[in-house]
Structure 1
């Protein structure tokens, strides 16, 4: 079996990806089409915001699927298949169901109230669709992952590990993504939520993320060495994309750019983020609950702030602050501290510390001291 060390860079990338997701969703409220995909929309659109958001939109969700697959790799190193499925049921399926019936209706009510509609709710995962997909992937690939775990010292693994030291191996990893995009031909590459494209792309990214860690250090040393080249090519493709409307119809180029961004991010993370910190420990625990609740806080912020007669830039600032600060306050003072709530947001129940004789200070009398 491969030795497993804590990968702090992967923890950081998960935190960063969820932070970017919040920013991306905030930006949608300032686009002229936001209301058509279920967001509360500001009356004065700020379309300039979408230029930097376009840099993120073709790799932010695939990155989360990559990281989720990597998380499963680390999880199976200390669990059998039954323990893995039980743990993922508690951590993914339970929050998914709770969120769908308790969190999603909150922001749907805010949207309907803002636009003066009668409240109606048909159960749907909304922004939590990602969790449902992940749970399905775990069920599908658990047998394969445990088989690969049993062969982690075999000849095939060693051959693949050596191949991953060659930059051309990154092109091989892109082939399934290119094939998926051209076969599914999504209306827009960045439309992932509850679409066939999102499901199949997520599945490929999930298993590829697992394999990137399974391959060992050769993959990570490769992306670390080539990170600046990968980043330069990614940015060049992004600039070309936003200037050439026909680029968006090229599924091959979109898939290539998406993967190059992700490989560049992995290289940067492995170079600079693979170290522990107290901040990471806190944010790593907070990221998942904040992902679950953020839409309710974002919609509440929009519901309060958008009607105000202030400049759009100040609205953007206030909505951003309200969403982030509100999420952290709710996490810190409610979700994190109430044991009966923690499992509903994918957190473990805190065990109560039982006092033992070792914890009780021994009191001695003056007579005992003098003996």
Structure 2
């Protein structure tokens, strides 16, 4: 959610934006709309208690595909930018920035978004169960004994990222008590795993071990204000990777760029393996394989690491310069992230009885939600104090400085 710049050089010079990472963030934001629209049309068990009468395997594949890399990429980028802030502003300056850009927006927007989304969700559930719009609290999903009726909804990313930033701040405050050799060994270990061709296989192991405790081996975010340890491990590991990528960025970004095609191909192979394993599990043909959830979780976690590196490297290699459309989407991404669920649920309600197939409905919902979110950003946010709260000062950079691609490839 931050401005993406390269680290300050030894002598003050104009800063150059990493436009490649801005472009990547723009695409990841938009895919969030696609993912949450797809959930309305799943043929398999849904993580949400509503469903459109038209379903499609296309929605199942879209959810599995996008979910495999979208949030991992966001957490890698987040860790990178938190390390950048810490380098420039120190631990306290970084934490102050995260309080202003993460904690404050969460405190402001969560209450109205929770109320509005809950109302829309209840209407959608009523449609799903009784085929007519309405609100009946008796249809609300049951809670676990002692469970809270409140959750962070889709803002769980904002919530977890803030607390990971607090942990990073605490780590910086106590780092002088940690032996320098240990700190260097940790940084060197992450660098080795992220730069070696086999490193993803090691990084996927801890995620597979926690993922195997979930149905079908796929970890699902609870949105809880007290998330389970498995969620913190998954988010924290990608966040830590981004932190160490920043510390070795010339080396690692060059590796990601050079290997983006190979990483993408390997990630696709592991995704196919995930789909086949899921199909075999549901068909009962894996009943003799010990811990099939582990192998599903391992294949899916390998996909996450490979495609995270592939996307970062691919954007550095092929989209390193400022793109007007993606730059606008990047600037609007925070606002769109906050409000897009109102669109995916609200337009889902409006399209419920429309006599169209699932794919057509998905296309209409994606287009309508995208346009509504961007229009509200343009009219209500872009040049207002709200925009400055979400995005800070983003001076336009139209210079013809050396491109990100040239800098990264020159490091090889």
Which of 252, 259, 265 is the equivalent residue of 1:219? 252
Distance in 2, Cα, partners of 1:26 & 1:281: 24
Q: CA deviation at 1:10?
A: 1.6
Distance in 1, Cα, partners of 2:183 & 2:208: 29
Q: CA deviation at 1:295?
A: 0.2
What residue in structure 2 maps to residue 18 of structure 1?
29
Range that drifts further, 225-234 or 2-11: 2-11
Asked whether the equivalents of residues 23 and 327 of structure 2 are also in contact (C-alpha less than 8 Å), the reply is no
Does residue 139 (structure 1) correspond to residue 166 (structure 2)? The answer is yes
The two structures have a TM-score, normalised by structure 1, of 0.81
Does residue 129 (structure 1) correspond to residue 142 (structure 2)? The answer is no
What residue in structure 1 maps to residue 344 of structure 2?
298
Q: How many residues are aligned here?
A: 346
Does residue 310 (structure 1) correspond to residue 356 (structure 2)? The answer is yes
SS at match of 1:78: helix
Distance in 2, Cα, partners of 1:86 & 1:292: 21
Q: CA deviation at 1:155?
A: 12
Change (3 A) 1:174 1:10: farther
Change (3 A) 1:86 1:312: same
Distance in 1, Cα, partners of 2:28 & 2:107: 23
Does residue 189 (structure 1) correspond to residue 189 (structure 2)? The answer is no
What residue in structure 2 maps to residue 8 of structure 1?
19
Distance in 2, Cα, partners of 1:82 & 1:168: 31
Does residue 201 (structure 1) correspond to residue 247 (structure 2)? The answer is no
Does residue 268 (structure 1) correspond to residue 286 (structure 2)? The answer is no
Q: CA deviation at 1:103?
A: 1.1
The two structures have a TM-score, normalised by structure 2, of 0.74
Larger Rg: 1
Gap runs ≥5 in structure 2:
1-6, 10-14, 127-133, 141-147, 282-291, 396-412
Does residue 256 (structure 1) correspond to residue 302 (structure 2)? The answer is yes
Q: CA deviation at 1:124?
A: 2.0
Q: CA deviation at 1:219?
A: 0.9
Distance in 2, Cα, partners of 1:167 & 1:16: 23
What residue in structure 2 maps to residue 86 of structure 1?
96
What residue in structure 2 maps to residue 117 of structure 1?
135
Does residue 76 (structure 1) correspond to residue 86 (structure 2)? The answer is yes
Distance in 2, Cα, partners of 1:160 & 1:132: 26
SS at match of 1:79: helix
Q: CA deviation at 1:181?
A: 2.9
SS at match of 2:88: coil
Query: Residue deviations 1:248-296, cap 9 Å, x none?
Result: 5413333222211111112211211222233343222100110000001
Q: CA deviation at 1:330?
A: 1.0
Which of 178, 188, 194 is the equivalent residue of 2:205? 178
Distance in 2, Cα, partners of 1:330 & 1:271: 33
Distance in 1, Cα, partners of 2:372 & 2:16: 34
